[in-house]
Structure 1
Amino acid sequence: MRIIAGRFRGLALASVGKGDAGAHLRPTTDRVRESLFSMLTGGRFGDPIEDARVLDLFAGTGALGLEALSRGASHVTFVDDGRKSLSLIRENVAKCRCKDEVTIVKRDATRLPEGTPHDLIFLDPPYGKGMGEKALASAMTGGWIAPGALIVWEENAEITLPDGVELLDSRRYGDTVISVCEMVD
């Protein structure tokens, strides 16, 4: 895994090999991450990354949030409760030398406390467990999602969007489906 573009371009991130099923680590591949960011920056959504406050739920290795930071986001909040994930996020933040631009929250993403609004949300829950819906509801209730925010949801099963969230685009990459949604309420 590596950062694809921006100020950290080419930086190799901490490796988890094929992932860690016990820790629910299933890193987004470079190819899917590159396609995702091409979709986001391709003009259809304006420039959702520049100066954005990013919320990375089920952050895993932190690769999605760090890619956004590399491409111009102002701050990233990583949320994960896995010991291995938190260790990888800290290691990757150290590699990027961006400690002052991130917040790491050790928390179950489905049970968020009150927070501050973010403009771009990455939601990459363990596949097929319905945790994405719970985390999104928790983030909405806790004030973590700004009006008009883009939500990028990675899943392998059908997703159910709550009221106030609209699907803008959806693309399949093998068994992974990337859905780009917008907070409309």
Structure 2
Amino acid sequence: MTRRKQQSGKTPSPARRDGFVRIISGRWRGRKLPVHDVEGLRPTTDRVKETVFNWLAQDIIEANCLDLFTGSGSLGFEALSRGAAQVTMLELDKKAAEQLEKNRLTIGADNATVRHTDSLTYLKQPGTPFDVVFIDPPFRKGLLPEVITLLEQNNWLTKHAVIYIETEKELGDLPTPAHWHLHKEKTAGQVCYRVFEREGA
């Protein structure tokens, strides 16, 4: 889902090729969507995605969703396929955002909005509350504390919002508010992914 920024001084390998993400279930089940070859892009794997959406099955239907650090759109398009009312996708990389928009048009996802913008900048403005938020920021950049603070501070979450967070395994405990209750947690390889349920502050 998210771009993993490369360390400075490195250059993309010429052997890399554009790939795709697969929608697992729902309206567009089995559909493969192209992914632009942005250096460091790491779509959420099918195995992780299937587990996550089993967890979220009842929460996604008719939900208004926010997909931060969207990258390939793997989570956002899956949510749309499974019955989300609307998904807003935020992606900083221009080429990746352009590919997301192309994919949106290709499958006819009129209830999706792609914004070429920095997720943190976007969250700094007053928000309209979302029911489900996907957070998969670049690893090892220390972005999560600010993301979580801005979501709460600027009214981006409904009273009982559900928040999905994907991080590097070694990060450990997350700086979540006391009224975010850990609902599910699992590790796959070097990735840890969690679902939190929010109770009104």
The two structures share one fold, judged by TM-score above 0.5: yes
Q: Which moved more, 1:108-117 or 1:48-57?
A: 108-117
Question: With structure 1 as the length reference, what TM-score do the two structures score?
Answer: 0.87
- Could you list the per-position Cα deviations for residues 26-72 of structure 1 after superposition, in whole angstroms to 9, with x for gaps in the alignment? 1111221112112222xxxxx10110000101111112011011001
Residue of structure 2 in register with 1:7 after alignment: 27
Identity %: 36
Q: What SS does the aligned partner of 2:175 have?
A: coil
Decide which structure has the larger Cα Rg and report it. 2
Residue of structure 1 in register with 2:17 after alignment: none
Question: With structure 2 as the length reference, what TM-score do the two structures score?
Answer: 0.81
Mapped to 2, the partners of 1:93 and 1:153 lie a distance apart of 23
Mapped to 1, the partners of 2:163 and 2:176 lie a distance apart of 11
Residue of structure 2 in register with 1:153 after alignment: 165
Mapped to 2, the partners of 1:170 and 1:161 lie a distance apart of 14
Task: Flag structure 1 segments of 5+ consecutive residues without an equivalent.
Answer: 42-46
Residue of structure 2 in register with 1:168 after alignment: 183
Point out 4+ residue stretches in structure 1 off by more than 6 angstroms. none
Mapped to 1, the partners of 2:117 and 2:153 lie a distance apart of 16
Residue of structure 1 in register with 2:194 after alignment: 179
Asked if 2 retains the 8 angstrom alpha-carbon contact of 1:55 and 1:122, the reply is yes
Asked if 2 retains the 8 angstrom alpha-carbon contact of 1:62 and 1:88, the reply is no
Q: What displacement does 1:163 show? A: 4.1
Question: Of 123, 133, 143, which residue of structure 1 is paired with 2:155?
Answer: 143
Question: Of 62, 66, 76, which residue of structure 2 is paired with 1:65?
Answer: 76
Aligned length: 175
Alignment of 1:1-185 (within 5 A): 1-16=21-36, 20-21=39-40, 25-41=41-57, 47-98=58-109, 100-111=110-121, 112=123, 113-156=125-168, 157-158=171-172, 159-184=174-199, 185=201
- Could you list the per-position Cα deviations for residues 78-132 of structure 1 after superposition, in whole angstroms to 9, with x for gaps in the alignment? 112221321221122122211x201222322123211211101100101122212
Mapped to 2, the partners of 1:64 and 1:103 lie a distance apart of 14
Q: Which has the higher strand share?
A: 2
Task: Flag structure 2 segments of 5+ consecutive residues without an equivalent.
Answer: 1-20
Cα RMSD between the aligned structures? Answer: 1.6
